[in-house]
Homo-oligomer: A and B are copies of this chain.
Amino acid sequence: MKAEIITIGDELLIGQVIDTNSAWMGEELNKIGIKINRITSISDDRDEIISTLKEASKRAHLVLITGGLGPTNDDITKKTLADFFKVNMRFDEKAFEDVVHLFSIRGREVSAINRFQAEVPENCTTLYNKVGTAPGMWFDEADVVYVSLPGVPYEMKYLMENEVIPRVKQRFKTPFIVHSTVLTFGIGESFLAEKIAAFENALPDSIKLAYLPSAGSVRLRLSGSGNDEQEVNDLVRHLTNQLSEIIPEYIYGYEKDELPKVVGNLLKLKGLSLATAESCSGGFMAHLITSIPGSSAYYMGSSVTYSNESKTQLLNIPASLIEKYGAVSEPVVLAMVESAKKLFKVDCAIATTGVAGPGGGTPEKPVGTVWVGVSTPDETKAYLLKLGDNRLRTIEVAALSGLNLLRKALLKK
């Protein structure tokens, strides 16, 4: 069983709009055991649409089309589908009632152009759209199912959830697919690959392993497929546990966990409060923490001290200490983290000081040198990181590393 998505619209090709629909559709179909084999984005051009449909129909059993169903002139998907199937259009009374109803609750009048929106190719099953004016369409021709949906994300989602997914489940027999994602931090992709080489080489054919890297972290995704739901579930769960036992010190979560949320949940669980003192991370650690709804329950704030004077004024770091060791040093980061704890009257604190670059590096402390201080009720420690010469990456990894080091310190207890 093969499936493809075709997205139609010039705005996707010139980068004006990012195609988020395909990712959402791919994820939803994957949950019912259908893997998308190909996504094709093309111009809203009749010939281009027809040739792409012809190619897809040779490869796939299910072809999902989005875009090109709105009321304006550049929307031509519907007419092109009628040409592709060599059929006429018919007026769908019920689809028109939906349009009239939608306009009435929005206090608008129906125009001539909206009447055209209720026309569909005569060989389709209409998928009625309660949240927009363009109906979806389902075609079942020569053993291939074609589904055409509007490109507006919430209309597409409404029709997928209420009309398409139930019909697809009924129409196709699909294998059972399970994914499990293990989230690691603080180890590069190649080192991770070496550590789990034996595990990876021993994986059965029904299981695939993917490495998905981003700043400071690598997500490991195990995907299993088969016909026996119980069997696939058990195998993926067993392998996830096995993987977790090989690299426990690098794992901060599973599936869609986020590091700031994981740390927040730990703090809430232990009834502890947090503050930060940031130099090189420049407020980004505070931003990561406060991005999480409800973070005000455990997070008191941050002293972002971007100059030596502000470190002295706000955090009471002695000017002599900065002069003796430099602002980027172990004694200063330890003084910062202790001071944040006192100042905000909290149980835990994280501090950063480093050379984000591009200027400010020296032979002893090159750009990318970062000290992170972490303090819990049990211990206060400093860590030295070397993060390279990309300023924004250094800021991001310094902030995330601070959170991860606090997480590890809290788990020691």
Contact = CB atoms under 8 A, between A and B. Distances in A.
Given A71-B190, A113-B194, A309 B345 contact: yes
A118 B278 CA distance: 38
B35 A38 contact: no
B15 A30 contact: yes
A39 B41 contact: yes
Interface string A208-238: 1111110000000101000000000000000
B48 A42 contact: no
B16 A35 contact: no
A345 B308 CA distance: 13
A387 interface: yes
Interface in A19-77: 19-20, 22-28, 30, 35-43, 48, 52, 55, 70-74
A107 interface: yes
A286 B304 contact: yes
Interface string A294-328: 11100111111111011001100000000000000
Nearest to A37: B43
A270 to B, nearest CB: 18
A366 interface: yes
A402 interface: no
Contact of A388 (B30, B105, B181, B194): B105
B306 A283 contact: no
Contacts of A114: 190
B16 A73 contact: no
A14 interface: yes
Interface stretch (A163-171, A242-250, A390-398): A390-398
A283 B307 contact: no
A22 B13 CA distance: 8
B10 A154 contact: no
B387 A106 contact: yes
A211 B72 CA distance: 7
A11 B210 CA distance: 8
Contacts of A299: 306
A111 interface: yes
Nearest to A305: B301
Contacts of A241: none
Interface in A356-378: 356-359, 366, 368
B212 A291 contact: no
A42 B223 CA distance: 17
A403 to B, nearest CB: 13
Given A37-B13, A41-B22, A345 B313 contact: yes
A394 to B, nearest CB: 10
A102 interface: yes
B389 A105 contact: yes
A18 B21 CA distance: 9
A309 B275 CA distance: 12
Interface of A: 10-20, 22-28, 30, 35-43, 48, 52, 55, 70-74, 102, 105-108, 111, 113-114, 131, 133, 152, 154, 179, 181, 188-191, 193-194, 200, 208-213, 221, 223, 275-276, 278, 282-287, 289-291, 293-296, 299-307, 309-310, 313-314, 343-345, 356-359, 366, 368, 386-393, 395
25 contacts: A12-B23, A14-B27, A15-B22, A16-B181, A16-B210, A18-B23, A19-B23, A19-B39, A37-B43, A72-B189, A72-B190, A72-B211, A133-B190, A275-B310, A282-B287, A283-B283, A286-B286, A287-B287, A293-B357, A300-B310, A303-B304, A304-B304, A309-B345, A313-B343, A314-B343
Given A283-B286, A290-B356, 20 more contacts: A10-B210, A10-B223, A12-B39, A16-B181, A37-B43, A39-B39, A72-B211, A73-B193, A74-B211, A105-B366, A105-B388, A106-B368, A108-B191, A154-B393, A282-B287, A283-B285, A296-B306, A301-B305, A303-B314, A310-B344
